[in-house]
């Protein structure tokens, strides 16, 4: 059980909307970078291969291939340096950690895309009577 004082401090630092993504998703992580007095945003895109921790200590690892070399970065989820996390596509996975992707090369690293079922809402316009002219 965590200390009550620590949990109160951590709750005030948590992001309200950290972003909804799961393991296997293709994401773009927009990170704020300070260069002198200028601030710019750098995008790191790749596949989420792991999530660790909980609360303020929650992190996620993103892997991508750059010039035929695998690059992994671990980001703190609630960091103020993370501007936003965009989900590009969702992958079908059956594991909590995708470390097996480290051994794969080329097209073998692709994951099947998860199909999202969309809920159809009844059209309000079709039930309204059409005025006759």
For 111-120, write each residue's pLDDT tens digit.
888 877 776 7
> Cα–Cα distance between 90 and 111 in angstroms, integer?
9
Q: What is the DSSP track for 88-102?
A: EE-B--S-S--GGGG
Residues whose CB is less than 8 angstroms from the CB of residue 87 and which lie 6 or more positions away in sequence, other chains included = 19, 20, 21, 25, 26, 27
Residue whose tokens read 């704020």: 32
The domain ranges of the chain are 10-103
Q: Provide the CATH number for the domain formed by 10-103 in this structure.
A: 2.30.30.790
For 25-54, write each residue's pLDDT tens digit.
999 999 999 999 999 999 999 999 999 988
Could you tell me the pTM of the whole model?
0.77
| Per-residue pLDDT band at 24 (split at 50, 70, 90) | very high
3-state SS class at 119: coil
């Amino acid at each position: 059980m965590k200390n009550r004082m620590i949990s109160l401090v951590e709750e005030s630092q948590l992001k309200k909307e950290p972003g909804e993504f799961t393991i296997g998703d293709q994401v773009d992580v927009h990170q704020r970078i300070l260069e002198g007095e200028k601030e710019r945003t750098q995008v790191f895109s790749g596949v989420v291969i792991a999530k660790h921790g909980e609360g303020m200590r929650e992190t996620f690892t993103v892997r991508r291939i750059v010039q035929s070399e695998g690059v992994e970065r671990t980001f703190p989820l609630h960091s103020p340096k993370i501007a936003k996390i965009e989900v590009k596509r969702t992958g079908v996975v059956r594991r909590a950690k995708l470390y097996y992707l480290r051994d794969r090369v080329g097209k073998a690293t692709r994951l099947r895309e998860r199909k999202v079922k969309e809920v159809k809402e009844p059209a309000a316009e079709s039930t309204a009577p059409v005025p006759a002219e």
